[in-house]
Structure 1
Amino acid sequence: MSALKIAAGLLLLPAILFAASAPSGSQDALELQKTRERFVRERGAKTFYPADRFDLSGLPAYQPEEQVSGKLRIWGNNYLADSGLAQVWEEEFRKVQPGIQIEWNLKSAATALGALWAGAADIGITGRGILWSERLAFQREYDYDVTEIVSSTGSYNVAGWSNALGIFVHKDNPISKLTFAQLDGIFGAAREGGWGPDFEWHREVARGPEKNIRTWGQLGLTGEWKDKPINPYGLNLRYEQSLRIANPILMGSDKWNERIKLFANFTDANGKLITAAQQVMEHLDEDRYGIGYGGVMNLTPRTKALAIAEKDGGPYVPLTLETVHDRSYPLIGETFFYVNRKPGTPVDPKVREFIRYILSRQGQQAVARDGKYLPLTASALQDQRRKLD
């Protein structure tokens, strides 16, 4: 073999190795959207929990405070349409409020806030919290903040339906629980500050590299684990799931562990959607020293979920259907209604009555029957109702 051929082969070797490790399929954005639509429709037709699993007797029954009429325009969260929950809500609400017509535009949560601040929607619905850019746009348009109301708890284990996020490791790993501070040390890095829930920059949450946790020994493991590096895995940082880690755990910082391996959804060679969370779990299944986040529905026989505590010393809460429903697990998902309400003024009566219906026993029973999102607890529901006053 000539020297020229050998040199050419060496130049091609990195590309060959990359191709061997890269996903077999397509990440074309439009093709991926079509694959995702099929994926969501399949899950939308299923019920994952029996309707009687949750005791809703403590929730208040819906009693109209006034009869309202007119058109109610609702934009956003496509999962309400994909599951049929939106239609059920409309049919049941109109039995007691027959003067209302609802115009749904449920293509994506990405449309919700834009439609609201542009005046095209009366209610914007998302399956994730408001983004920094969305809130900024609303504030600049109106010079006040948007009103946010939690409408249900996210699912326990249904991909797409705002499922709770678990922290996972290989089953051989002796670790069983971690705190938010420890997770910050693992997934995060030195930072100069972070964005708070108030969407303001907070310098007081800055930290240095001395708080980085990069070996299992730093978490108290001994023996063979003591000097082993922690291999972190995660989802594309543009996905909302990564924001649900960064905001509470990394204190709103965008500074992540420099060694984190990130994954994105793709369509495989058979036209099946392969999610980023699936890929994280597949790597943890093979990596005894790995740690990652994602959904419990992707758990394998060789991986396990850790109990999580928001504060040092606990309580440490395991990831279960019960702890997600009662909202004691610290990394639950939520769905939100957003309303344009000028401070000091009442909520539009038809908007108020519809949200009061959602935040009632009947509205949450519809959530429970749908079997994906989880109904609110009585205390959480009352907290949200007070936002309408």
Structure 2
Amino acid sequence: MTQTRHVPAYWRLIPGVVASACLATFVSTAAAELAGHNQTGGVTVDSTIEPYVSQNGLSGKLSIAGSDTMRPLLTKLAAQFMVLHPSTQIAVEGVGSGAAVREFQLGISYQRRGDKVRGRGTGGSNTVELLASSRRLTEDEIQGFESNHGHRPLEVPVAMDAVAIYVQKDNPVQQLTMQQVDAIFGKDRKRGHAPVTHWGQIGVPGSLASEPIHLFGRDKRSGTRDFFKHVALKDGELNDTLIEQPGSASEIIAIAQDPQAIGYAGEGFQISAVRTVPIAPDSGQPAVLPSREAVISGAYPLGRELYLYVKKNPTGELDGVLREFLSFVNSRQGQETVARAGYYPLTGTQIARNRQELKLAKTGLAGIPAAGETDLRLAEQGRR
């Protein structure tokens, strides 16, 4: 279905040249805010997490492909790592979790393919050793990787995040329940709520009450889209009127321009022209904004972990740059970088589990267990 972009009424009232200039200024300002969205407001990193000990003389290349949501995070992690290891190069490709799964399964990188052939502009290696995903891989996707590489990938959570519901900053909606979220965005409404198409149906007063809700979201390449459908819509389909955006930043800018807009995106993409709406897991329960504490406790219903999936070498171990980068991510300095990038750092317990997995990877034992497979190693870690 072809979607027509909604144009806010106030833009139609301004002469063309002036409107274009105003819009350009607005978009430029919003883009600058998004580029600097890494101010975290003092998120504390668990003091039990061990510091990173830099290895001298490390060199080599690494390519990471996947989540658009995770691209700002991984860009900062890669930059900090390369400061510590000047002879390394890490390329980060934010093509979307879903789009990058195929690359990871095959072990190749389609991004900048011509540059790779000509030997310029790459930064990373010619294969995708790390897949960045804002959702867990499905068993079919894992088996697709295993059929090509002979082993199951190693799953490493690297940060926590939340999918937020965004509206334009002056929208007076106070809060939403998960049933209302499903009724607004979902075609199937599996949570049992009547369809919601106008703002007045969720208690918004005044002139906005009679106005239709304009829906925005991510395109089919996005892991955030898959996560939102799975958790918020209970695997239902998105409403046909939803306008898909190729990236989180473009979606937030679109919402900021439209007083009737609502959309979902990673919590880190916050600018002054939009605000996030508190969400309640159910009717009668408190509605909360996304935060690290609310995600850890489960009080915020759209919290999630962000993952790196790891390709090992033919011996079943991790290569030098790959191993060291994962060690850095799972260190105090790495998690401080996570916080500075505007995401939620992992707990000390989560990092300890990751470190144990990475130790086992040195022996070729680590990897995602097959579905239904008894895994005593993980049971001993208390992960079940």
Report the TM-score range of the alignment, normalised by the length of the smaller protein.
0.5 to 0.7
Q: Could you say if the C-alpha distance between residues 80 and 153 of structure 1 is closer, same or farther in structure 2, counting changes exceeding 3 Å? A: same
Q: Hey, what does 1:168 align to over in structure 2?
A: 167
The 3-state SS of whatever aligns with 2:181 is helix
User: 1: distance between equivalents of 2:65 and 2:228?
Assistant: 23
The 3-state SS of whatever aligns with 2:81 is helix
User: 2: distance between equivalents of 1:274 and 1:168?
Assistant: 14
1:54 equivalenced with 2:44 (yes/no): yes
Cα displacement (A) at 1:298? 4.3
Q: Could you say if the C-alpha distance between residues 327 and 362 of structure 1 is closer, same or farther in structure 2, counting changes exceeding 3 Å? A: farther
TM-score, normalised by the number of residues in structure 2: 0.58
Cα displacement (A) at 1:131? 6.9
Match of 2:156 among 143, 149, 153: 149
Q: Hey, what does 1:123 align to over in structure 2?
A: 129
Q: Hey, what does 1:185 align to over in structure 2?
A: 183
1:275 equivalenced with 2:250 (yes/no): yes
Is the 1:71–1:102 contact (alpha carbons within 8 Å) kept by the matching residues of 2? yes
Q: Report 1:323-342 matches (<5 A).
A: 323=294, 329-332=300-303, 335-340=306-311
User: 1: distance between equivalents of 2:204 and 2:252?
Assistant: 29
Is the 1:307–1:318 contact (alpha carbons within 8 Å) kept by the matching residues of 2? yes
User: 2: distance between equivalents of 1:216 and 1:379?
Assistant: 44
TM-score, normalised by the number of residues in structure 1: 0.57
Cα displacement (A) at 1:188? 0.9
Q: Report 1:57-76 matches (<5 A).
A: 57-62=47-52, 71=60, 73-76=62-65
User: 1: distance between equivalents of 2:233 and 2:149?
Assistant: 30
Q: Report 1:265-304 matches (<5 A).
A: 275-283=250-258, 285=259, 287=260, 291-294=262-265, 297-298=270-271, 300=273, 304=275
Larger radius of gyration: 1
Is the 1:167–1:291 contact (alpha carbons within 8 Å) kept by the matching residues of 2? yes
Q: Hey, what does 2:288 align to over in structure 1?
A: 317
Match of 1:138 among 135, 145, 154: 145
Is the 1:165–1:293 contact (alpha carbons within 8 Å) kept by the matching residues of 2? yes
Q: Hey, what does 1:194 align to over in structure 2?
A: none
- 1:140-198 alpha-carbon deviations (Å, 9 max, x no partner): 434764332122335xxxxxxxx84224378564x53323233112211228xxxxxxx
Q: Could you say if the C-alpha distance between residues 251 and 144 of structure 1 is closer, same or farther in structure 2, counting changes exceeding 3 Å? A: farther
Is the 2:40–2:341 contact (alpha carbons within 8 Å) kept by the matching residues of 1? yes
Q: Hey, what does 1:251 align to over in structure 2?
A: 234
The amino acid of 1:249's aligned partner reads A
Q: Could you say if the C-alpha distance between residues 123 and 130 of structure 1 is closer, same or farther in structure 2, counting changes exceeding 3 Å? A: farther
Q: Hey, what does 1:375 align to over in structure 2?
A: 345
Cα displacement (A) at 1:249? 0.8
User: 2: distance between equivalents of 1:293 and 1:222?
Assistant: 19
Structure 1: 5+ residue runs without aligned partners? Answer: 1-13, 26-35, 96-100, 155-162, 192-206, 267-272
Structure 2: 5+ residue runs without aligned partners? Answer: 18-26, 108-125, 361-384
User: 2: distance between equivalents of 1:355 and 1:82?
Assistant: 11
The amino acid of 2:228's aligned partner reads I
Identical residues among aligned pairs (%): 18
Q: Could you say if the C-alpha distance between residues 326 and 379 of structure 1 is closer, same or farther in structure 2, counting changes exceeding 3 Å? A: farther
Q: Hey, what does 2:243 align to over in structure 1?
A: 262
The amino acid of 1:242's aligned partner reads R
User: 1: distance between equivalents of 2:249 and 2:325?
Assistant: 37
The alignment yields a C-alpha RMSD, in angstroms, of 5.2
Aligned length: 309
